[in-house]
Copies of this chain bind each other. A is one copy, B any other.
Amino acid sequence: MPLSPSVTDAAYLEQVRAHILALPESGIVEVMNYGRDRPGMIPLWAGEGDVPTPAFICEAAATALHAGETFYTWQRGLPELRAAIARYMSRVYGVAEDPERYFVTGSGMQSILIAFAMALAAGDEVLIPSPSWPNAAAAAQKTGAVPVAVPFRYGADGFRLDMERFEAAVTPRTRAIFMNTPANPTGFVATRAELEGVLALARRHGLWIIADEIYGRFYYADAPRAPSFHDIMTPDDHIVFVQTFSKNWAMTGWRIGWIEADPRLGQVVENLIQYSTSGVAAFMQRGAIAALEQGEPFVAEQIARARAGRDIVADALLATGKVDLVKPDGAFYLFFGINGHRDVARLGLRLVDEANVGIAPGTAFGPGGEGFMRLCFARGAVQLEEAARRLSAWIRAHGGAAAPALETAFDRS
């Protein structure tokens, strides 16, 4: 490297393919970078809790590591882990126990990419309810495909699917629907009837459904889990489930997930794993087995903690009378507006400065997120009570007068 660059950054970057150069940066990073190092900051911007991975999971991984499980391994995952996932899915979702349905991946993110690779070629379109976790749309774009945002309807019952908008969004290039339920960031939880509507649409047009039900057990209504495509699908449907160990078992940093797909796709999925990262470390998979087999008390505790966290923050914010907030039935986010503060990118920075609480602007989550903020409540009560206290005080001081009816103010049509 004897010389300095002689061309400008822009000239150097011209050789990068346009759809890759256009990939969005994370919209959360600005506020994170702004607030990261503030003393006493309570960070509620990311989609992860404050608890490290339980010791029994770490032990299982460390033991395997020291035992020399450091060689190449099965591309579809350790047979023992695939069997453990099959037992887990049978227990929680009633899926017939078949290890051949499950493929271990290097993160839920990778699961999405593999599903998109099967479904989408360059120029194909995938429908994504919006606002949504931005990585799904970006993954489609990375694949060379076109993510098509289908806005939720927003009203007194929160965010709801609008099947007419879905139907209207289908074109000859549409190949897939990405359905996240319970949803990040909105807290939307599809009813069984809504899932049936989406499935009918997919069947009618020959579309894949990429089902992201990773928050399925973070459900606060009338059942131990949210409604699932598992409840209504038949074997000939083209539904691929993308899953992760991140949320249930506090393993966000591990980067391990799985795909659930029809066994007829087995060789295709195996090839895609081979040509993505060529499998997942065997010693990490030992940790994942421990999570599935010994993790139920931990998961139950995490869910109870999130439910309590939701109530702590949501009740405090609602009591101000100056927020647009529908308490969500699922996932672990509040997605809400503060009266009189539509410029949420600026609002995020102000809340860092003036309330020392970090929350993410809704604009990071695509069309329909304008005017909203996302707050993660998967944390301990003491910290959330303090965050709620700070935020409520700020909102009482700075929030605008009551907004017009929600349907008028925030409908995204």
Contacts and interface: CB of A to CB of B under 8 A. Distances in A.
A254 interface: yes
Interface residues of A, number: 90
Q: Which 3 A-B pairs have the closest CB atoms?
A: A52-B68, A122-B122, A53-B70
A144 B145 CA distance: 11
Contacts of A122: 121-123, 144
The residue in A53, A106, A233, A277 that gathers the most chain B C-beta atoms within 10 A of its C-beta is: A277
A259 interface: no
A236 to B, nearest CB: 5
A71 B16 contact: no
A223 interface: no
Interface stretch (A107-115, A183-191, A365-373, A398-406): A107-115
A272 B5 contact: no
Interface string A1-30: 111111101001101111111011110000
A347 to B, nearest CB: 24
24 contacts: A1-B95, A1-B233, A13-B264, A13-B265, A15-B118, A15-B206, A15-B238, A16-B119, A16-B265, A17-B119, A18-B121, A24-B271, A52-B68, A58-B65, A61-B62, A73-B253, A106-B277, A109-B276, A113-B276, A117-B142, A121-B122, A122-B144, A253-B279, A255-B278
A71 B267 CA distance: 32
Contacts of A233: 1
A5 to B, nearest CB: 4
A377 interface: no
Contacts of A58: 65-66, 70
Nearest to A135: B275
Given A12-B238, A12-B262, A15-B118, 5 more contacts: A25-B271, A26-B274, A117-B142, A135-B274, A142-B272
A198 interface: no
Interface stretch (A281-289, A326-334, A381-389): A281-289
Interface string A47-86: 0100011010010011001101111110000000000000
A138 B271 CA distance: 9
B117 A69 contact: no
A413 interface: no
A277 to B, nearest CB: 4
A234 interface: yes
